[in-house]
Structure 1
Amino acid sequence: MTDSLISSAYSQALEVIASVEPRIAEATRQELADQRASLKLIASENYASPAVLMTMGTWFSDKYAEGTVGHRFYAGCQNVDTVESLAAEHARELFGAEYAYVQPHSGIDANLTAYWSILAHRVEGPWLTDAGVKNMNDLSEADWEKLRGALGNQRLLGMSLDAGGHLTHGFRPNISGKMFHQNQYGTDPETGLLDYDALLRKAREFKPLILVAGYSAYPRRVNFAKMREIADEVGATLMVDMAHFAGLVAGKVFTGEEDPVPYAHVVTSTSHKSLRGPRGGFILATEEYAPSVDRGCPMVLGGPLSHVMAAKAVAFAEARTPEFQGYAQKVADNAQSLAEGFLTRGAKLVTGGTDNHIVLLDVSSFGLTGRQAESALLDAGVVTNRNSVPSDPNGAWYTSGIRFGTPALTTRGFGREEFDTVAELVVDVLSNTEAGTNKAGAPSKATYVLGDGVADRITKQSAEMLDKHPLYPGLNLS
């Protein structure tokens, strides 16, 4: 696709939007300008290709298509069937999975669908068989009450939020922490690394129905063969949430025991983040769990977003190329460079480094909270997000950490030297930021004071790097 064709397509699209609501068109233009001018280091963000973006803006958005391929509750879904079939086919081939389900709208939708699918497979199905019931409509109200009790009294063991897990892995305020009798495993207090022996002891004691592996802010790889051994020993279903590192699995950076697909019963993911597709979710599973997952609609989901499923198919197709494998390896290499850059400048990293795409910086050594550091960096054009560290004294809102990710800037073409410079810029900002006070003059976990001229200096240095690696090069909306 030529640059002129892409520019023309987007310029005309914005003209159409502006004819109805010019403020939306202007906000869209400004978002591109802002992304072009900032160092995007949020681990859960990336830049989708023009092909992926354009696929989402089609009349597939107009279709309702509840159900599954060939079994819809609406007529006229033959083209949606084609789209969903292609997306699932590409996902199966990309990850070597027996089954793929591409309807979830997001990562939390994928996890909720997976949880209820496992409950249906492990609890509802056997319960109905023991009760001699073939049709759930035949259940009496008393039977329904018993079944609801059985479904709502199961155990889930997931990684704790401060150790690097996700809200949907059993965090109490999240629905996953309310629908299960949940418990959490953490990391070694000295190293910050997963302790598989301690995890096994906890699993033996707790005996979960579901063992959740995967992470949102753990900067290391996981041995999924060991996780499966633990799950098998206690009779649990192993569910892996690979939303963050799916691109490293697709790109063959994580192979063998670090690839979750051969070991997990069910794998959930998003299609954006390191996979560089549209915002959405998907599920991979063994054939044993496929019938339960296929009931995602109406069990958890409503109408699938057909235009997003189409974009997932395009993104999965892009990820099946040698070019994507090269990109994925650079993501991991650049994370190593970023981590080394921090360490050589005296910064403190959780686990002492990284071997995936995430670098977790403990900013307490700068005398700052995560919220103060995040805000100061944003003032200087460095976009990050605050994150808890193990046993975080500041809790999940203010935090003591900043999470960095390399997928987005790697997409722009940044290499190891540039990421070392990024580390230098970040340390420069944090070293010149002081914790502030509230209106009463008391210490505040939110306010901060950034040194004079620091933001302008860092922004200028960033611009020099960004100009060498333009975002969507050739796309001109003027």
Structure 2
Amino acid sequence: MTQPPAHQPAAHQHPALAAADPELAALVGAEERLQADTLRLIPSENYVSAAVLEASGTVLQNKYSEGYPGRRYYEGQQNIDQVERLAVARAKALFGTDHANVQPYSGSPANLAVYLAFAEPGDTVMGMALPMGGHLTHGWGVSATGRWFRGVQYGVREDTGLVDFDAVRELALKERPKLIFCGGTALPRTIDFAAFAEIAREAGSVLVADIAHIAGLIAGGAHPSPVPHADVISTTTHKTLRGPRGAMLLAREEHAKAIDKAVFPGLQGGPHNQTTAAIAVALHEAAQPSFRDYAHAVVANARALADALLARGFDLVSGGTDNHLILMDLTPKNVPGKIAAKALDRAGIVVNYNTVPYDPRKPFDPSGIRIGTPSLTSRGLTTAHMDTVAEWIDRGVRAAGAGDEDALLKIRGEVGELMGAFPAPGLTAT
């Protein structure tokens, strides 16, 4: 089988930028080459299509559109209203929800809008603790959500790495929080939305499903949907969904007005119309049969990679993965996560260092690394490649511990060769 040619960014791709600002154009070109030549394993990163990339850079950038379709504070919205209505309709159809708001600038502002819609400052909110895999905006102390609201946290069992729902229920009934968040940033297992919903009902709480990481898997049928269970769903539009850097809030009809009012005028002014357009494109792509194949391939690749890492003696939190993400504790390898991550980066393998549950080390110098398979799946890598990826990680971590830069350089060459055979979507020269 003939492999596609290695990517070389076209010199004419950004002529106006190159003419106006050569310094910035050079940095963009360098980033294109970096994204093309490296193995990107950060689970929150992905590649958007050329169509999404184009939509993000259209003349929609020039238009202000405070308000909602048909109810704007600026004139000249004939086209903008249609763009936003298209994105909303596609979001509702893809996820099967009553209401969608596609205006939030990113995931954290989207979550903050949920607080504004349902809680008052000082109210109790409940979410997974950040060191256990939760998100800053789920009431963690260093976040505004933990300073303006009273955050209480649940975690995972130390022996299994899984959520203890008896403990979650006990905490919820004791604290009676206004909001309960489920979801997070370092959760390798399927989220039991039904179990969280039962607890929220019993505690009289609003259940918020933060699906930022797994939205693409849900859209593609590779993870159960929270729609039948959660009152509100928050998600970014990038990560596994392969859209632009934006966000959406999905909700039942009874909460539609509260959500819309919280986003605008509660938290922000005019939406970023070019991002709204790119969201619409990404949602259209996610509705195609090929997207389902991609979503299931992401999970298959993650499971194959987890198995290959386990075979090489790596300690994986919860023992493996059900989704796109793998969290590994490098303590048995005697290499801290930060040192490993930086060494792997020099080897062309891009990961992030990450705390693991009950980590004795500090967050900026933790015990673990977090990896995922969305980007490599988007490039066309399959389960047949995961043993090689695991071997590179194993060699890279050992080289990090030994300070062997030559070994890292050798891996870098091997990574570049494989990546050259699988051009990155949106970056291929035309």
TM-score interval w.r.t. the shorter chain?
A: over 0.9
Report the counterpart of residue 385 of structure 1 in structure 2: 352
- Do the aligned partners of 1:418 and 1:465 also contact (CA within 8 Å) in 2? no
Shift of 1:300: 0.7
Distance 2:184 2:363 in 1: 16
By how many angstroms is 1:259 displaced? Answer: 1.2
Aligned to 1:419: 386
Identity of aligned residues (%): 41
Amino acid at match of 2:131: D
The two structures have a TM-score, normalised by structure 1, of 0.86
Aligned amino acid, residue 232 of structure 2: V
| 1:155 corresponding residue in structure 2 | 124
Q: Is the 8 A contact 1:113 1:301 kept in 2?
A: no
The reply on whether 1:464 has 2:417 as its aligned counterpart is yes
Partners in 2 of 1:12 and 1:377 — Cα distance? 32
TM-score scaled by length of structure 2: 0.96
CA distance in 2, matches of 1:474, 1:21: 21
Contact 2:399/2:408, CA 8 A, preserved across alignment: no
Q: Is the 8 A contact 2:126 2:152 kept in 1?
A: yes
- The one-letter amino acid paired with 1:347 is F
Which residue identity does 1:310 align to in structure 2? A
> What secondary structure sits across from 1:294 in the alignment?
helix
Over 4 Å off, 4+ runs: 10-13
1:321 aligns with 2:288: yes
The 2-side partners of 1:474 and 1:270 are apart by: 22
Q: Tell me how far 1:366 sits from its aligned partner.
A: 1.6
Distance 1:348 1:430 in 2: 13
Aligned-pair distance for 1:285?
0.3
Name the CA distance, whole Å, in 2 between partners of 1:395 and 1:236: 33
Q: Is the 8 A contact 2:32 2:427 kept in 1?
A: no
**CA distance in structure 2 between the aligned counterparts of 1:59 and 1:12, rounded to whole angstroms:** 20
Partners of 1:352 and 1:207 lie apart in 2 by 32
Correspondence for 2:163? 194
CA-based RMSD: 1.6
Q: CA deviation at 1:12?
A: 4.6
Number of the residue aligned with 1:148: none
**1:231, 1:171 → 2: CA distance?**
19
**Aligned equivalents of 1:161 and 1:474: distance in 2?**
34
Q: Which runs of 5+ in 1 are unaligned?
A: 120-150, 435-448
1:27 deviation in Å?
1.2
Equivalent position to 1:430, from 374, 394, 397: 397
Q: After TM superposition, give the deviation of residue 417 of structure 1 in Å.
A: 1.9
Gaps of 5+ in 2: none
Which of 251, 276, 287 matches 2:242? 276
SS of 1:307's equivalent in the other structure is helix
Q: Does 1:217 align with 2:170?
A: no
Tell me what 1:42 maps to.
42
- Partner letter of residue 463 of structure 1? G
Distance in 2 between residues matched to 1:373 and 1:239, nearest whole Å: 35
Which of 269, 290, 299 is equivalent to 2:266? 299
Describe how 1:232-243 pairs up with structure 2 within 5 A. Answer: 232-243=201-212
Is it true that 1:23 corresponds to 2:23 in the alignment? Answer: yes
Cα distance, 1:473 vs. partner? Answer: 8.1
Q: 1:228 to 1:474 in 2, by over 3 A?
A: closer
Return the alpha-carbon distance in structure 1 between the equivalents of residues 389 and 292 of structure 2. Answer: 24
Matched ranges for 1:72-471 at <5 A: 72-119=72-119, 151-254=120-223, 258-295=224-261, 296-434=263-401, 450-471=403-424
Which one has a bigger Cα radius of gyration? 1
> How many angstroms apart in 2 are the aligned matches of 1:33 and 1:152?
46
Aligned length: 423
| Amino acid in structure 2 at the alignment position of 1:167 | L
Q: Secondary structure at the match of 1:19?
A: helix
Give the letter aligned to residue 285 of structure 2: E
Report SS of the residue matched to 2:249.
Answer: strand
